[in-house]
Amino acid sequence: MKKLKFALAYFLTTSIALAQGVNTVGGLTVEACSGVGASSALSVTASSAYAINSQVGALISLNPSFRGVGSNPPDSGGIVQSVRLNTKDVQTAGFKAYQLTASPIASTFTNGLVPVIGASDVFKARGPVTLTSNDSGLGTMTVYELDAIARAHVASGATDYWILVTTGTPTFTISGDIQFCVTYLVD
């Protein structure tokens, strides 16, 4: 009798699961980084302290290879899983990374200055990802990382845009000493 109850429970559970179907999200994890190749390097001002709330580098354009771009917009995009910032020197200042849902067209984003977002770009801004956990345990370098972000992102094209702003007063050793990376679970 126990075997019959077990078999009946198994078949009922299995048939309910099959009737509901199985949904998958993403399935492909990719990492997109600035600072890879001369054309995408995140250039900063060396040997000069940045003021609090200053932009670090230019507008960051990442190409995470969203799978649906071109074939089924606006349903392309993915989920931001983690954000990482590496520097080639020791840093202790914090940073905020602002994601934009589309290319900003009316804003002034200049390295070393306070970012100025234009009225037509305001609704493209997403809340910042705050990077405060600096680690220099491997020597003369620093890594910041924030995992488990789980931020859904609908792509308006193949490029994802970010602005990096300091919350402290970092001084960088060389102009190309920063790499900014975002890991996505892509649709």
Which pLDDT band, with edges at 50, 70 and 90, does 65 fall under? confident
The domain 24-186: what is its CATH number?
2.60.120
Confidence tier at 29 by pLDDT (50, 70, 90): confident
Residues above pLDDT 90, as percent of the chain: 55
pLDDT for 186: 80
Higher pLDDT, 170 or 25: 170
Which of 18-27, 50-59, 139-148, 156-165 is predicted least confidently?
A: 18-27
pLDDT at 111: 95
* Res 100 pLDDT > 80: yes
**Residue 79, CA distances (Å) to 16, 63, 65, 106 in order:** 29, 14, 13, 26
Q: How far is CA 5 from CA 9, 13, 14, 170, 175, in A?
A: 6, 12, 14, 67, 70
Q: pLDDT at position 69, please?
A: 52
What mean pLDDT do residues 92-112 have? 94
pLDDT at 55: 96
pLDDT digits (tens, 9 = 90+) for 131-165: 999 999 999 999 999 999 988 877 667 788 999 99
Question: Is the Cβ–Cβ distance between 155 and 102 less than 8 Å?
Answer: no
pLDDT score of 22: 38
11 pLDDT above the threshold of 60: no
Tell me the two tokens of residue 126: 């997403």
Which residue intervals of the chain are DSSP H helices? Answer: 2-20
Return all residues near 26 (Cβ < 8 A) that are at least 6 apart: 78, 79, 185, 186, 187
Q: Which residue has the tokens 């890594």?
A: 143
- Cβ neighbours for 138, distance < 8 A, ≥ 6 positions apart: none
Q: What is the mean pLDDT of residues 54-80?
A: 75
pLDDT band at 8, cuts 50/70/90? very low
Burial of 48-59, coded b for 16+ CB within 10 Å and e otherwise, reads eebeeebbbbbb
| Closest by Cα among 57, 162, 154 to 111 | 57
Q: What is the average pLDDT score of the chain?
A: 82
In this predicted structure, what is the pLDDT of residue 2? Answer: 59
Instruction: Tell me how far CA of residue 126 lies from CA of 57, 100, 140, in angstroms.
Output: 19, 6, 32
